[in-house]
Each structure stands twice: as structure tokens, then as C-alpha cells.
Structure 1
Amino acid sequence: MAPAVNAILASFSLSFVALTALRQFTKKRQNNPPLPPGPVPLPLIGNVLSVNSLEPWLTYTEWCAEYGDLIFFRILDEEMVVVNSQPIAEALLDKRSRIYSDRPYLATLEPYGWSVNFAFIAYGDEWRLCRRLFHQTFRPESAVKFRPMQIKRAREMIVNLVDDPQHFHHHFATFSLSVVMSTVYDYNISARDDPMVQIVIDALIPGLTLLTPERSLLLRTFPFLLKVPDWCWGSSIKLGAQASLSRVTKMKNVPFRYVQQHMADGSVSQSSMVAENLRRMEMQEEEDKPAFENALKKAATTAIVASYETTAATLMVFVLAMVLCPDVQKRAQAEIDSVIGRDRLLTFEDRASLPYIDAIVRETFRWQPVVPLGVPHATSSDDVYDGYFIPKGAIITYNTWGITRDEKRYPDASRFIPERFIDADGKLTNDDPAEYIFGLGRRICPGRYTADASTWSAIVTMLATLDISSAKDDQGKVISFTPTFIAGVVRYLPCDLPL
């Protein structure tokens, strides 16, 4: 009986959503300029069957060849616009940021605990407070102060990689979190097996695959799936949400309580983002404190998430590139030897003298972008761009993957070729993927300067001290493998890749 009831409820919910979408779609077409070109939608369900649900950026990039750089389509009642061009994205997200700074509703955020990341919340007073707290610590002037720590931690990472090369992903996670945990919580991560690092990994590895608009549609269309009995078909969604909420809540609260406890017993060794703002909070009116503390927790947790998801995933891509492209590694090491020799390790003062290393960093960002669609935006009002109507509430997806696969801009785009960023004089070109992979507009990643510096310090230190090659079996034979990525908001390589 229960499956039949669920089927009826599902059909009713789907029909209601589809009819609502059709009515809204028809209304918006009246007396407005044409919508951007795109695939013809099916009645009621739109283009839901046409989109690769696991890797939608592949679909959007294919559509670009047929429909152009600005594409409109529908998934059920969701109106979606994909931008496949950096200039158009800058024209909309930067120059019209007043309209394009909101976020779409993601039905997975609250149930899975991810509303704690302020990058996903709606544009408004709460977001502005979170952003201000974050920016105070990670603005460009402050990011420079982290450089000695980034170099120090990069060198510790090398020791770990030499001693325990099999667990390289965990060493990358430790490195990527070390700066932010010290800065935000005054927490000094252990070089190995730190419990706080494991808390973050446990929360993020399964959680980052759940936050795309395409995946949240299931819960938005069928919200009753969060309330079905444990024994019922479909209960795995509810149980997965409960497990994710528990893990993310632990990631939010454990380091925050660490700061509170150390402030209480007077053992805070240095200033930190959380400690400084908790002291400021003591001087506020009592009714303002809960909202401020909540925003502080979100800003602090977002720093953890952003640091881990971008830097650790990017370093995995770099290692894969070095395994597949040994000639690139040799040229990079030759540049390092020619600039500093072998008598010392590198520092940030050497960066300007190592253009090929910077070209490798740029190509690592471009070759396999770890956030292939960025974080989706939403329009807060109707707009018209280049004669096309973009409706209020539309989800705006910035197809970073498609931009990195533009053969006119990046010939042979699927290959790892750092030389594409070096001009005839041996200098870096003006094309820097960091200008688009960290987002655009008011919602651009506020920690991008720290992330870029961490990536550079790790890559240059690895190149200066290690020879990166494929793993070998007990007989000394190279272990063959086919790289596969786990898809989600963040696209990353699995931890057990045999590198």
C-alpha cells in the first residue's frame, strides 16, 4: 500500500510543479523580448532528460556549440541560464551585480547542514555580515601576512610526503587547512593524523556532491522524502541528510568551542578571527549577540570549507598532471635550479623570477577546474542583455568548464600545456584563469588571494624537493590507472588514486 501512496504523491507533486512552471513560463513570455536560445523543452518536464545530471557542465559545453554563449533552458519549473563566456559573465555578474548577486534556493542546504556555508545563502543582511567578518581576516593586505606560515607548512607537507607517500591526499588536506585553522581558530594542526582535519574530511568528502541545483531538484519536488519511515523505499535520502547534518554540525561547533574554552581559561596564544570577534560581541546589546555569533560561525566554517575544497583538490590535480607530463616537471625543476640553485628552498620573494612555475599554477587551475560551474547565482529582478530577456528568479550558471575548453582560447584544451601562458619573450601572458575560476561579482571568493598563495607555495616546494611519478607494485611495475573524478559543486579526484 505504501509504495502506491508514494507513487500517487510523487505524480501529483510532479504534475503540480510542471503546471505551475508552464503558467509562469507563458506569463513571462508575454510582452517581453525573446529568451536566450536553447534546447526545445518537453511539455511539463522541460529539458530535465537532456542534462547530464552527474556532470552537467559537459552538456552545457556541448550546447554552447549549437546555441552560443548565452543559453536558456528549463528543468521542471526552474528557469536556467548558462553563461559560456567570460566577457558575458563579467558584463552580468560584475557590471550588473545589483541584479545577479542572489543565490537560488537549494533544497539540500538545510537538511544536509550546508546553510552554514555563507557562500550559498541569499544576498541580504546576513550575507553582508558574514562577508564583512570574513573579509576582515582574508582581505589582500592580510593575506600577505600568511606567507611565512604557508611556506613553513608546505615544507612540513614535503616531510610527510617523503615519510608516507601513500596518504598524499591527507597531507594535502592538512596543508590546506593549516593556515586557515591557525588564522580563524588559533588552532595549530599536527603534522600527521590531526583529529580536526579528520572532522573536516568526514564532513566535506560526501557533502560536496549534494549541492548542485540539478540534485536539489529531487528534494524540492519531493520534499516528503525527508519524512518517510526508515523502512520505506527512499529513506536513504533522509538518512543521508541526517548523517550529513551531524557531520557538518560537528565541523562547525568543535573548533568554535575550542576557541571559547581557551578564551575562558586564558590560554589563547595569539589573536584569531573567532577570538577577536567574540571579544567584540561581549560589548554588543544582548539581543544582537545570537545573530552575530551565528554569522561568525558561518564565516569561520566557510573559511574551512573554501580552503579545503579548492586547495586540496587543486593539489591532487597538480600531482596527476606531473605524473602524466614528466617533461613539464623536468622543465619546472630546471627553472628552479637556474634561479636559486640547490643550496636553499624557495620563498615568495622568488615568485617573480619563476614564470614557468606560475604558468603551471595557471594551467593546473585551467586544465581540470575543481569548481566547474562555480556556485550558481540568481537574478533578483528581470533583465535584458543583448536583446535577450533574463527573468527574475532565473538560476545563472557560469560555466567555468566550458571557458577552459574553448579551443580558440586554449588550443588542444584537454592537454596540460603550461607553455600556453608564456609569451615569445618568456614572460607570463595576460591570461590568468584565477580571474574567473574564483567567481565574479559581489559573490567572488573572498579568500582567493590566500588560496592562490597556498597553491603556489605547495606546488613550488614539491617541484623543488620531489620527483613525482606513478606508484609501483611489489614487482616494481607502474600501476596503471584511469583518472576518474567525483562530481559535485567541487569536482575532485578520489583519495585512493594510485599516484
Structure 2
Amino acid sequence: MIDLIPSVDSLAVLAVLYVFFVVITVRRFIGNRQHKPLLPPGPVPLPILGNVLSIDTKQPWLTYTEWHATYGDLFFVRILDQKVVVINSQRVARALLHNRSRIYSDRPYLATVEPFGWMFNFLFAGYNDAWRLSRRLFHQTFHAESALKFRPMQIRRAHEMIVNLISDSRHYDSHFATFSSSVVISAVYGYESSAQDDPLVGLFAHSMQLGIPWLTPERAIMIKTFPFLLKLPDWCPGSSIKCDARISTNSINEMVDVPFQYVQRRMADNSLLDTPSMVAENLQRVEKQDKAFKSMFETALKNTAATAVGGGYETTTGMLMVFVLAMVLYPDVQKRAQAEIDSVIGRDRLPAFEDKKSLPYVDAVVRETYQWMPIAPLDYPIGIPHATSSEDTYDGYYIPKDDQWAKCRTSGAIVMCNLWAISHDEKRYPDACHFIPERFIDINGALTDDDPVQYIFGLGRRICPGRYIADASMWSAIVTMLSTVDISSAKDDQGKAVDFTPKFATGIT
């Protein structure tokens, strides 16, 4: 019969082994704690909710800027189960997003991108070969030297915008959107839009208005948490979201296909030979390629072209709205800029890009427009955060890898660059909340080396690829407005200025 009761010696051996196991486990735990860097500092999170209750969800950049004073240039927050690393200085942004761009160039998963038709847009794409191809196509047309060829067209479009403003000042925002869209549509497709009510410009505007509201983090989290909302039958309450997704996708597909087919038709009848455009130039490059490569290339080109127009529509329009607000609130700035234009150019002609170096104060006004109210306060071009593709350590702090495209949970971190904190650093920009272009002018009347363009369009490999043409559009529109019209508050029936409180819309810009 087998004795199932262990002997005293056996119990002693088991006890020794158990103690040895506990000691080794504790030592490993302590060793890991000692050698593994800590996460960046930040506010203490609540269980499950994290720091979400402490953040202004409509203007989170303001909360992050307040925390900057307590936790420094780099801090860590938790929003529900999402780990977020926030960058609050240009120095750290350059060190991570630029110098270590291989790690910080990915994108987090947004649950609304695919169902609402935004898979074409490479701004949301992960850091992969498809993104690199789209980026290369974009860069070939819009890098610094190549973008110069579009300047005559940009000036011409600015003149058309002024005619629209003078004839119908009430709908100035619509005229800005037409200007922004027509510039990029011309550069991308070689399409000469009409000054008003152009059908292709209207198609892009309509598609953007349908789809953009669903790209906010709040709505993306809702769809990620409750994916069944996209599968409800039409008769069920809540099915309107599925309907909105279908309408948005159909409209965006049309937006992507129609202008591309326009270029193909015009190339077939040789009517685009003298019009420089991104699509035509690239299609000519692959005419003799094999069918498989040509098909793959054309798909990437078509998606990249639509991405370019979508990005230009939303951002340049918003920045011009900020400029108009500044001119209403700071009339002395407008008068000084107009005086500079009159003294340098006179009133017999309108400004051109050749006059740019002779108009430093106008350039300072453009810079201050970027600095004063960044339209994408949490990273550019449209507030999309970065995601880490591997673990990293910076300044002694541990930054975890993002488990990108994990549709249920995210174990790693997304990285947000708080451009608002950078542009409102009181040490760098005293009275940053006031519109003061003089901050960019030195004692000799020349422009300083501090140009918000160096950070306001983002940093690293995800920097806005259209920044050169966007900056040129801003300058051409602003200098043309300053030289032709006075911008002021609306007047009531008695001729008194109408009081108003500026309100910014929430969203990705």
C-alpha cells in the first residue's frame, strides 16, 4: 500500500523550495521596478475612468496647458483605458516626433474611419508602405520648390475671392471655403473652378461636411465601444448612425472618383497638357508600366489626390476665419498692415509674391494668425494624434508601445502634441492670448527667426505635406484682403457695431 502522507523530510524540502520561489519572485519584482523607467508624471487617475472627468472634453488642450505648469513638458494621462502621452513644448516635440520619427509616426485606430468612408485618406493610415507611397506622391508635387509653380494661380484665386467678398460680404466663410478648395483642386487636378457655385467645389464641401464630424475622438470612442450601432436594422432607434455612415461613404466615394475621372478624360483628349497638376503628372509617369502596377499606382494616386483637397479645405478656411476675427478685434493691426502695403506698393496695383520680402509686417500678421488661435490645437493637420510603434525612453521616462489597430482595447500609448501650449508659452510669447504681430518684428523692423510655421504644421514624418502651398495660400489671401477691403464688425440699423462673442466649433479642427 502506498503511503500518501508526506514525511517530515519531504515537508521540509517543500517548505525550503516554497521560500526559495517566493524570494526569487519578490527579487525579480523589485528588480523590475528598480530597472524599468517610470511613466512620465501626470494627474492621479481614477479607477476605470482615468482622468476623463478632469479634462475639458470640448477644449482638452486648455486642460493640458494648465497641467503643463504642474507636470512639465511631457506628462501622462489616462482616458478610460487609453494611455496618452502629452507633449507641451517644441523642444520635446522635436526630440521625439522629429529626431525619433521612426518610433512616433504611426496612427491610432479610429473606429469611424472605415464605416464613414475615410479609408482613402492617408492621414489616418498606419506607418506602412501604402502610407509611404502616398506621402511620396504628395511630396513630389508640393515640396518647397515644386509648390512655387502654383503661386500665380493662388494670387488669381485670391482676387476672385475678393470679388466675392465685396459682392456678398455676409457669406465670407463660404468664400473662404471656395478659395481654399479651388486652389488645391487646381493644383491637384488641373481643374479651373468657377468663382462661385462650382459643382466640383460643392461636391468636396458637401462630402467634408458629412464626414468630418464623425472623425472626432468622442464619436470614434462611441463607435468603438458600441460597434453594434452600425448594424442595427433601419427600423430600430439609433439606426440613424448607420444611415449617416452609408450617406457619408457614398458621397466621399463620389468625391474621390469624379475629379480623378475628369483628369483621365482630359488627358485622353490632350486638353491638360499646359496645366500643371499632381494627378496628370503622375499618370503620365506610369503610362508604360504593366497593368498590375498601374492599377495599384492609380488607386494610391486617386486616394492621395482626394486627401490633398480634403486637408486644404478644412484647414486654410479655418485659419482665414481666425484672421478675420483678429482684424475685427484689433483694428489698429489692420491699419498698420494696410499702411505698409500703401507705402511699399501704392494703390495702383495689387500685391504679388514678389512683394513678400518688402512687407515684413504683413508677414508678421500671418505668423501671428498661426500663433494666436491654432485651428488644430492638438497636432496638425486635423488633430490626429501620433502612435508609438515601439517602446521608448526619454529623459528617464518610459513611453509604452501602442497596440495600434486593437479594436477592442489599447494597451499602449498615443502621443498628442499640444500645439496650443507651444504657441501660448508666455515665456516665448508674452500676452499670447492677444494678437500682437510686433512680437515677430525686431528692433530694426525686420522679421525675427521665430516662425510658427516651424511647428504649427506638425513635426516629424507626419508633418503636413501641403504646408508650403497652404502657407502661400494664407499669405496671398491675407495680403489681398488687407489691400482691398476694411474688415469690421457688422452694423445694426442705427449704424452701431453689433456686439458678439467669438465661439469656436468643436471637432477635429
Of 165-174 and 325-334, more deviation after overlay is shown by 165-174
Match of 1:222 in 2: 226
Unaligned runs of at least 5 residues, structure 1: 1-27, 491-499
The residue number in structure 2 matching 1:338 is: 343
Where 2:53 maps in the other structure, the secondary structure is coil
d(CA) in 2 for partners of 1:202, 1:30: 56
Are residue 207 (structure 1) and residue 211 (structure 2) matched?
yes
Match in the other structure for 2:257: 253
* 2:392 paired with 1:383: yes
Deviation at 1:91, TM superposition (A): 0.2
Q: How does 1:299-448 map to 2 (within 5 A)?
A: 299-374=304-379, 375-393=384-402, 394-448=413-467
Q: Does 1:161 align with 2:165?
A: yes
Matching residue's letter, 1:176:
S
Query: Which of residues 456, 460, 469 is equivalent to 2:488?
Result: 469
* 1:277 partnered with 2:282: yes
Matches within 5 A, 1:54-73: 54-73=58-77
Greater shift, 353-362 or 291-300, is seen at 291-300
Structure 2 partner of 1:479: 498
Aligned match of 1:23? none
Report the counterpart of residue 111 of structure 2 in structure 1.
Answer: 107
- Which residue of 138, 147, 150 corresponds with 1:146? 150
Give 2:13's aligned residue.
Answer: none
Q: Secondary structure at the match of 1:146?
A: helix
CA shift digits 1:95-133 (9 cap, x unpaired): 101111111111111111222221111111001110111
CA distance in structure 2 between the aligned counterparts of 1:196 and 1:137, rounded to whole angstroms:
21
| Number of the residue aligned with 1:14 | none
One-letter code aligned to 1:42 = L
The residue number in structure 2 matching 1:20 is none
In the alignment, residue 180 of structure 1 is paired with which amino acid? V
Partner Cα separation in structure 2 for residue 379 and residue 403 of structure 1:
21
Question: How many angstroms apart in 2 are the aligned matches of 1:175 and 1:30?
Answer: 58
Report the Cα distance in structure 2 between the residues aligned to 1:191 and 1:272, rounded to whole angstroms: 19
Given that residues 422 and 428 in structure 1 are in contact (C-alpha distance below 8 angstroms), is that contact kept between their aligned partners in structure 2?
yes
Matches within 5 A, 1:38-57: 38-57=42-61
The farther-off stretch of 221-230 and 184-193 is 221-230
Which residue of the partner structure matches residue 19 of structure 1? none
Corresponding residue number in structure 2 for 1:90: 94
Instruction: Indicate yes or no: 2:200 matched with 1:196.
Output: yes
Structure 1 residue 459: deviation in Å?
0.4
1:43 aligned partner, one-letter code: P
Name the stretch that deviates more: 282-291 or 113-122.
282-291
Q: Would you say the 8 A contact 1:83–1:89 is kept in 2? A: yes
C-alpha distance in 1 between matches for 2:118 and 2:459? 22
- Cα distance in 2 for residues equivalent to 1:282 and 1:276: 11
Equivalent-residue separation in structure 2 for 1:85 and 1:32 (angstroms) = 25
Between the aligned partners of 1:258 and 1:310, the Cα distance in structure 2 is: 25
Q: Distance in 2 between matches of 1:60 and 1:215?
A: 21
More moved, 175-184 vs 264-273: 264-273
Task: Quote the offset at 1:422 in angstroms.
Answer: 1.2
The verdict on how the C-alpha distance between 1:54 and 1:29 changes in structure 2, with shifts beyond 3 A counting, is: farther
AA aligned to 1:344 is: R
Q: Secondary structure at the match of 2:85?
A: strand
SS in 2 for 1:384: strand
Q: CA offsets, 1:241-287, max 9 Å, x none?
A: 22322222222122112112223344335342212323334322322
**Which stretch of structure 1 is more off in the superposition, 255-264 or 434-443?**
255-264
* Amino acid of the structure 2 residue aligned with 1:186: G
Match of 2:123 in 1: 119
- Please identify, of 343-352 and 290-299, the stretch whose mean Cα deviation from structure 2 is larger: 290-299
Amino acid aligned to 2:188: V
TM-score (norm 1): 0.89
CA distance in 2, matches of 1:37, 1:101: 23
Following superposition, the deviation at residue 240 of structure 1 comes to: 2.5
- Matched-pair identity in %: 66
**1:181 corresponds to which of 163, 179, 185:** 185
Task: Using the TM superposition, name which of 56-65 and 238-247 deviates more.
Answer: 238-247
In 2, are the aligned partners of 1:174 and 1:189 still within 8 Å (CA)? no
Q: CA deviation at 1:214?
A: 4.3
Deviations along 1:170-223, one digit per CA (max 9) or x if unpaired, are 211221122221221111010111111111211223433332444422222221
CA RMSD of aligned residues (A): 1.8
Determine helix, strand or coil for the equivalent of 2:315.
helix
Residue equivalent to 2:238: 234
Aligned equivalents of 1:479, 1:248: Cα separation in 2:
39
CA–CA separation in structure 2 for the residues paired with 1:54 and 1:252: 31
Counterparts in 2 of 1:212 and 1:31: CA distance versus 1, 3 Å: farther
Question: Residue 41 and residue 230 in structure 1: after superposition, are their counterparts in 2 closer, same or farther (change >3 A)?
Answer: farther
Structure 1 CA distance for aligned equivalents of residues 79 and 187 of structure 2: 42
Q: CA deviation at 1:467?
A: 0.7
State the one-letter code of the partner of 1:71: F
Higher gyration radius (CA)? 2
Residues 132-180 of structure 1, C-alpha deviations (whole Å, 9 max, x = no match): 1111111111111111111111112111111111121121122112222
3-state SS of the aligned residue for 2:94?
A: helix
Tell me if the contact between 1:209 and 1:487 (Cα under 8 Å) persists in the aligned partners: no
Q: Return the alpha-carbon distance in structure 2 between the equivalents of residues 416 and 239 of structure 1.
A: 43
Gap change, CA 1:271 and 1:343, over 3 Å in 2:
closer
Query: Distance between the aligned counterparts of 2:68 and 2:247, measured in 1?
Result: 38
Of the candidates 283, 286, 291, which is equivalent to residue 286 of structure 1? 291
C-alpha separation in 2, matches of 1:55 and 1:144: 36
Mean CA deviation greater in 395-404 or 210-219? 210-219
Q: Note the alpha carbon deviations across 1:320-376, whole angstroms, 9 max, x for none.
A: 110111111001111111111222211111111111101100010111111111131
Structure-2 separation of matches of 1:246 and 1:76 = 33
State the Cα deviation string for residues 38-71 of structure 1 (Å, max 9, x = none).
Answer: 1212212322333222222122112212211111
Q: Distance in 1 between matches of 2:258 and 2:325?
A: 33
- The DSSP-based 3-state class of the residue aligned with 2:145 is helix
Q: Normalized against structure 2, the TM-score is what?
A: 0.87
Q: Check the 8 A contact 1:210/1:489 in 2, yes or no.
A: no
How many Å separate the matches in 1 of 2:67 and 2:242?
A: 34
